[in-house]
Amino acid sequence: MSEKPSTGNFRPEDAPAYESILQCMRCGFCLAVCPTYALTNRERSSPRGRAALARAVAEGKLEFTSAVRDEAFLCLDCKACSTACPSGVRVGTIMELCRSQSQSFHPPSLPAGMLRDFILKRMLPSPAMMETSMIPVRLYQRLGLQWAVRNLRINRFLPDVLAKMEGILPTLAPPLRTEIPETIPAQGERRGRVGFFLGCAMSLVFAEVSRQTARILSQQGFDVVTPKEVKCCGAPHLAEGDRDSARRLALINIDLFRSLDVDYIVTDCAGCGCSLKEYEEILEHRADHDTVRLFCSKVRDISEFLAEVGIRTEGLRPVPLSVTYHEPCHLVHGQGLSKPPRQVIRSIPGVELREMKESSWCCGMAGSFALKELETSRRILERKLANVRDTDADVLVTANPGCHLQLAWGVRELAMKQPVWHIVELLGKSLPQ
Amino acid sequence: MISKNVIDHLRRKIGAQNVYHEREDLLVLGYDATPEIEGLPEVAVFPENREGLEAALEVSRQEGLAVTPRGAATGLSGGSTPAAGGMILGLTRMNRILEIDEENLTATAETGVITTQLFNAVAAHGLFYPPDPGSQNVSTLGGNVAENAGGLRGLKYGVTRNYVMALSGLLYDGTEFVAGNKCVKDVAGYSLRDLLVGSEGTLGIITEITVRLINPPQDKRTLLAYFRDIRTAGEAVSKIIAGRIIPATLEIMDKTTINCVEDFAKIGLPREMEALLLIEVDGHPAVVAEEVAGVRKVLEQVKAAEIRQAANAEEALQLAAARRTSLSAVARVSPTTILEDATVPRSRLAETFAEIERLKKKYGIQVATYGHAGDGNLHPTAVTDERDPLELEKVHSFFSELYEKVLSLGGTVSGEHGIGIAKKGYLLRQFGQGGMEVMRRIKKGFDPDGRRNPGKIFLEEGGSTGVKVPGGTHV
């Protein structure tokens, strides 16, 4: 019992801890909440089955086969199983580590690998490069080509994956990172100083949403500092199994925010928030613990932050709408935040919150999953949208750019009436001009 | 090894997507929630209908394959583990609710329907299906019937058996059977239905189940009582029952359990208390009020440290849900949890708690105790590590001695989890050679060559190969 546990057929670097796998006592409570098990009814595509596969690899009973890799990537990493697991097993995290393992056991083919490396190691870490890469898309939209493609149904002739890529992108505004002031002063009685962690997707795709976030923070009495040197949070790297790049980005972001002297670090992207809070875990034994812990302790999702400091409601204008709320996995399961977003919604005068069934069930976006597993993703989305439709609410509210894209695409495809808003867009409508 | 021809045949008959033979699938179809027990099947099939099931059974006979039926594999005695390899017969894809008969107050469903799905479907018609095993959100109705599953409401409402009106399915030789019907009274022939309930898949495959439904209770109150001594809690239970009050739920949790559940559920349970009772009284509002007063009186008499009433239905639900997570939550503190479901007459509860305390000290092991105190069904759970053979030996000695006591008090070795592989040795002690011989004859009548769910219930029956017993001490 005392000898250092071997990692079996895992390579030692970034192997899932054997104890963390053994923690699963196979009660099967996770089967009820796993979207991929719900679709396949296949044990190996369930959290319990995935943990058992990892255990077989760790115990040397199974090589890290391509089926293990496939299950690691079919896992949505929605972490619903972590919320459901009374024993505290985190299969999503174990699968993230398996994704990282798979890079050495099953390296991608050369061109695919080069593309992956280019995106993860060059493009995502460089906001400027990402912004440049989006220029053709903006041009395409600006010139009316998108309108033409959609209205003439030219996208029928595109391969499915390109059609979805085309369909899922909203009209892009210029990136917020380049436009937002470094510091926006607090309005009214000053309550503190927050660093705004502006995520890549938010800045590039949802600039108007994050503009609202900054506006709300300032209106609520906080100086808002948005550093322009901010790097990608590392979530895509963790999801794709590139833990080294994720660590490098984490160290840069920690340093950056340490220099800003802020009380809180707030983000309006559930994925970023989840990833930022995990810095302590991914940097364990690799960076000064106190520094990392201090950083993590300051990180808040926007709803979490507002619920914690208390929303100043004076002057809020009524928003006479019924809304239903889709819980992003990275908020409810990744960060355990289920009540705060509802508190924020309920604090807005005039808003009626209509709970949908299975509000914490994944929407099927799950990072790049929506493009890699088109059909599976679509079926998961349909389940979600049926629950949305049942509420007959005016607006579908969520709090994460991935979900936002997927849901907006889905309601458009199915010609549903609900627009999709980020929670801060809803709150923004209530703010005095 | 099963040949490619046979696999191809199964794929044609049952559908390629319903047949698994890759190692990665087989490796995850050999366990249930019982620690230390795991097999490895050669093939797994998940038929979607009766024809598929017939085809699978036919192949098993032709190939001489052992067959092990499997629902959601949440069992706690190893009943669905393929002890002799062979074929896993997954029944989760026969999962339609066929009928809700409001005139006869019954529901008929296929074997793979999930327990809560049935509960919700009948609730939508204003009806109530009471059996609620801890794993109800994933367990299958067929599994519940095969194991005669209990649950939190067992005290007042009984267990699965009390609701099964009819079963139909296939014997392993392909013979169709229908046992029971929708009649409230029925004494025709041997009660084959009652024999099949709790037979752990050793006699035949159940494909359709008709259950009795009742009216839901009009009102419900949930009380929580905390104790500084677990024996006092046991005394309170005996006194409530002796006072002729039958709550729907009367659950106990000891200090270790309270703390593990609180770690997970975070609902404000008192970490410093030695025990708590979760008491739910339901029925007509006037009766409920009277019984709540009666329960309170007992709790005050025995000097419970604190008595609380759940503020609303939501809080009550939360408490029951938290209790259901006990076993898995206890698994937080150690890699392996070995639990039993020793059951005693309710008047002997306090003695049983005292014995558990004594044996814990004697063997120096950590044991969390919780369970359905109201029906005398306890779940002492050893918190251990399956990689430590010395400690495992102590754990098994602990249970062995505890069962001596339980049997001497007129108890039973399994209240609701079944015998499976885990408790074969204890069963012999309870029934003796004579009782076992009767059961063996019955088994032979259904399955002469013993290849159907082999290795279960009977001690020396063949087919223990493939069962992993890391500690080497397995009863």
**Does A19 touch chain B if contact means CB atoms closer than 8 Å?**
yes
| B435 lies within 8 A of chain A by CB | no
Judge whether A424 and A302 are in contact, CB under 8 Å: yes
**What gap in Å lies between CA A330 and CA A271, rounded to an integer?**
5
Interface contact flag, A67 B385, Cβ < 8 Å: no
Q: Where are the alpha helices (DSSP H) in B283-408?
A: 285-301, 313-324, 326-330, 349-363, 389-408
Which of B244, B180, B247, B184 lies closest to B214, judged by CA?
A: B184
Nearest to A44 among B28, B72, B387 (CB): B28
Q: Does A83 touch chain B (CB under 8 A)?
A: no
Residues of A in contact with B23 (CB under 8 A): 62, 65
Asked if A86 is an interface residue toward chain B (Cβ–Cβ < 8 A), one would say: yes
- Pinpoint the residues of chain B covered by CATH 3.30.43.10: 1-93+432-475
Size of interface A-B (CB pairs under 8 A): 93
User: If residue B87 lies in a helix (H) or strand (E), which one and from where to where?
Assistant: strand B87-90
Which pLDDT value is given to residue A2?
43
Query: With an 8 Å Cβ cutoff, is A17 touching chain B?
Result: no
Which residues make up the CATH 3.30.465.10 domain(s) of chain B?
97-212
**Radius of gyration (Cα) for chain B, nearest Å?**
22
Query: Closest partner residue to B27 among A28, A29, A62, by Cβ?
Result: A62
Please list every residue in chain A whose beta carbon sits closer than 8 Å to the beta carbon of residue B18: none
Q: Which residues have a Cβ under 8 Å from the Cβ of B96 and sit 6 or more positions away?
A: B109, B110, B113
3-state secondary structure A91-151: HHHHHHHHHHHHHHHCCCCHHHHHHHHHHHHHHCCCHHHHHHHHHHHHHHHHCCHHHHHHH
Nearest C-alpha neighbor of A230 from the set A282, A178, A192: A178
Residues in a beta bridge with B278: B224, B251
Which of B20, B22, B26, B28 has the highest number of chain A CBs within 10 A, making it the mutation to test binding with A? B28
Judged by CB atoms closer than 8 Å, whether chains meet at A86 and B72 is answered as: no
CA dist A383 and A362 (Å) reads: 9
Query: According to the model, what pLDDT value does residue B390 have?
Result: 93
* Nearest residue in A to B323, CA atom: A86
Q: What tokens appear for B357 in the block?
A: 């305390």
- Residues shown for chain B: 475
| pLDDT per residue as tens, chain A (433 positions) | 445 557 999 999 999 999 999 999 999 999 999 999 999 999 999 999 999 999 999 999 999 999 999 999 999 999 999 999 999 999 999 999 999 999 889 887 777 777 777 777 777 788 887 788 777 777 777 777 677 666 666 666 667 777 777 788 888 888 999 999 999 999 999 999 999 999 999 999 999 999 999 999 999 999 999 999 999 999 999 988 899 999 999 999 999 999 999 999 999 999 999 999 999 999 999 999 999 999 999 999 999 999 999 999 999 999 999 999 999 999 999 999 999 999 999 999 999 999 999 999 999 998 888 888 889 999 999 999 999 999 999 999 999 999 999 999 999 999 999 999 999 999 999 998 7
pLDDT of amino acid B474: 31
CATH of domain B97-212: 3.30.465.10
Contact B327 A25 (CB under 8 A): yes
Q: Which chain B residues are Cβ-neighbours of A28 within 8 angstroms?
A: 33, 72-74, 135, 138-139
Q: CATH 3.40.462.40 region(s) of chain B?
A: 219-408
pLDDT of the residue at A157? 66
Specify which residues B178 forms β-bridges with: B168
Q: What are phi and psi of B459, to 5 degrees?
A: -60, -55
pLDDT at A134: 75
Greatest Cα-to-Cα distance within chain A, rounded to the nearest angstrom: 68
Question: How many angstroms separate the CA atoms of B263 and B269, rounded?
Answer: 10
Dihedral through CA A280, CA A254, CA A117, CA A285, nearest 10?
-40
Distance from B411 to chain A by nearest Cα, in Å?
Answer: 26
Torsion sign (Cα): B311, B314, B317, B319: negative
Min Cα–Cα distance to chain A from B18, Å: 9
Provide the token pair at B464.
Answer: 């223990």
Distance, CA of B120 to chain centre: 20
CATH topology for B1-93+432-475?
3.30.43
Q: Tell me which residues of chain A, numbers 215 to 274, contact chain B at a CB-CB cutoff of 8 Å.
A: none
Domains and CATH numbers, chain A: 18-105 (1.10.1060.10), 110-168 (no CATH), 176-308 (3.40.50.1860), 315-430 (3.40.50)
Chain A: residue whose CA lies nearest to B29 = A43
Q: Hey, are the CB atoms on B328 and A61 less than 8 Å from each other?
A: no
- Helix ranges, B64-174 (H): 115-123, 141-147, 154-157
pLDDT for the residue A370: 84
What pLDDT was estimated at residue A5? 57
Query: If you ran DSSP here, which 8-state letter would residue B341 be given?
Result: B
Alpha carbons A323 and A417: distance in angstroms, whole number: 12
> Coil, strand or helix: which one is B302?
coil
Residue-by-residue DSSP string for A342-395 = HHHHHHSTT-EE-PPTTTTS--S-TTTHHHHSHHHHHHHHHHHHHHHHHHT-SE
In three-state form (DSSP H/G/I as H, E/B as E, the rest C), the secondary structure along B265-297 is HCCCCCCCCCEEEEEEEEECHHHHHHHHHHHHH
Of A341, A319, A323, A318, nearest to A393 by C-alpha is A323
Which member of A22, A28, A65 has the closest CB to residue B24?
A: A65
Q: Determine contact, residues B29/B90, Cβ cutoff 8 Å.
A: yes
Q: CA angle, corner A202, sides to A196 and A203, nearest 5?
A: 80
Q: Give residue A119's pLDDT.
A: 75
* The dihedral formed by the CA atoms of A256, A258, A260 and A264, expressed in degrees to the nearest 10: 110
Residues of B in contact with A29 (CB under 8 A): 135, 137-138, 325, 328
CA angle A181, A187, A190 (to 5 degrees): 105
Contact: B328, A19; criterion CB under 8 Å = no
Chain B residues whose beta carbon lies within 8 Å of the beta carbon of residue A1: 385, 387-388
| CA–CA dist A162, A155 (Å, integer) | 8
Give the type of residue at B144: N
Specify the DSSP element, H or E, that contains A176: helix A176-179
How confident is the model at residue A320, as a pLDDT? 97
Return phi, psi of residue B286, to 5°.
-65, -40
Chain B residue numbers touching A27 (CB-CB < 8 A): 33, 74, 135, 327-328, 331
The C-alpha torsion from B59 through B61 and B65 to B67, rounded to 10°, is: 90
pLDDT at A113: 77
CATH code of B219-408, in short, is 3.40.462.40
CB contacts of A65 in chain B (<8 Å) are 23-24
Q: How far apart are the first and last CA of chain A?
A: 65
Sheet holding A352-353, edge to edge: A352-353, A322-325, A395-398, A420-422
Tokens for B395, please give them. 């754990």
pLDDT at A152 (0 to 100):
66
Distance CA A202, CA A220 (A): 21
Q: Does A47 touch chain B (CB under 8 A)?
A: no
Q: φ and ψ at B232, to 5 degrees?
A: -60, -40
A345: left (phi over 0), alpha (psi -120 to 50) or beta: alpha
* 3 state DSSP class of A175: coil
Asked if B380 contacts B403 with a C-beta cutoff of 8 angstroms, the reply is no
Chain B residues touching residue A87 (CB < 8 angstroms):
328-329, 331-332
Check if B332 contacts A (Cβ < 8 Å): yes
Q: Which residues of chain B have pLDDT under 50?
A: 461-475
Report the alpha-carbon distance of residue A358 to residue A325 in Å, rounded: 10
- Nearest by CB to B325, which of A32, A43, A86? A86
Query: Nearest residue of A to residue B95 by CA position?
Result: A41
Minimal CA–CA distance to B76: which of B423, B464, B466, B357?
B423
Residues B346 and B223 sit within 8 Å (Cβ to Cβ): no
Query: Quick one: tokens of B5?
Result: 């021809």
- The pLDDT assigned to B467 comes to 42
Question: Do residues A270 and A326 make contact, with C-beta atoms less than 8 angstroms apart?
Answer: no
Which residue in the block uniquely carries the two structure tokens 């600006």? A142
Query: What is the total residue count of chain A?
Result: 433
Report which secondary-structure segment, H or E, holds A265.
Answer: strand A264-267
